[in-house]
Amino acid sequence: MCEALTAHPAVTIARVQGRAVGAGVGLALACDLRVGADTATFRLPELALGVPPAWGGLLPRLISEVGVARVRELILTARVFDAQEALGLSVLQRVVPQEELDDAVMAWAKPVLRRSAAALRVTKAMLNSLTAATRLADTSVFDPELLAAILTQQRAG
């Protein structure tokens, strides 16, 4: 789903309120623009649950957006972080009071809707292409048998 959001020719806007956890953080990162309520919280809990992060291409995207040192800390500690920290990390691009979320989305959507659809498609494809090189990962570490063994061990323990 995340790759479909990224590859979709339309500009996508994440509207985050409440708790964004694990894949929810990944879904937000797959969007072109991300706005969150000032009360939103974020967490990458996979290791705390005994499994490695398994959202594929989103881990490299998170590293590209946030930086490897901060991602390492967020994943290894599985701590909750708030909207202001998410803004500072570029997980969000804007933070507003919850009651202003819809207005913030529309403030981005209105000018985007006035743009040429063809120009938007090409621009989004260019941006994705230029940033994809920084998101390449050695997928051999995502060995399905290894992940299955970890999950099996977790359930037995």
Confidence at residue 139, expressed as pLDDT on a 0 to 100 scale: 52
Alpha-carbon 41 to chain mean position: 13
> Into which CATH architecture does domain 2-156 fall?
Alpha-Beta Complex (3.90)
Place of tokens 């500690």: 77
Question: With contact defined as beta carbons under 8 Å apart, do 74 and 91 qualify?
Answer: no
Place of tokens 């290791």: 47
Which amino acid is located at 74 in the chain? L
Q: What is the pTM assigned to this prediction?
A: 0.81
Regarding predicted confidence, which is higher, 84 or 123?
84
Which amino acid is located at 62 in the chain? L
Confidence at residue 151, expressed as pLDDT on a 0 to 100 scale: 64
Distance CA 137, CA 63 (A): 11
Element (H, E) at 122: helix 117-132
Structure-token pair, residue 18: 């409440």
Structure-token pair, residue 72: 């390492």
DSSP class of 8: -
pLDDT of 7-54, one tens digit each?
888 999 999 999 999 989 989 998 999 999 999 999 999 888 888 886
Please report, for the chain, the start and end positions of each structural domain, with discontinuous segments joined by +: 2-156
Confidence at residue 92, expressed as pLDDT on a 0 to 100 scale: 98
pLDDT of 42-73, one tens digit each?
999 988 888 888 665 678 888 888 999 999 99
pLDDT at 141 over 50: no
Q: What is the mean pLDDT of the chain?
A: 86
CA atoms within 13 A on the CB side of 118: 0
Angle separating helix axes 68-77 and 58-66, nearest 10 degrees: 120
pLDDT at 155 over 80: no
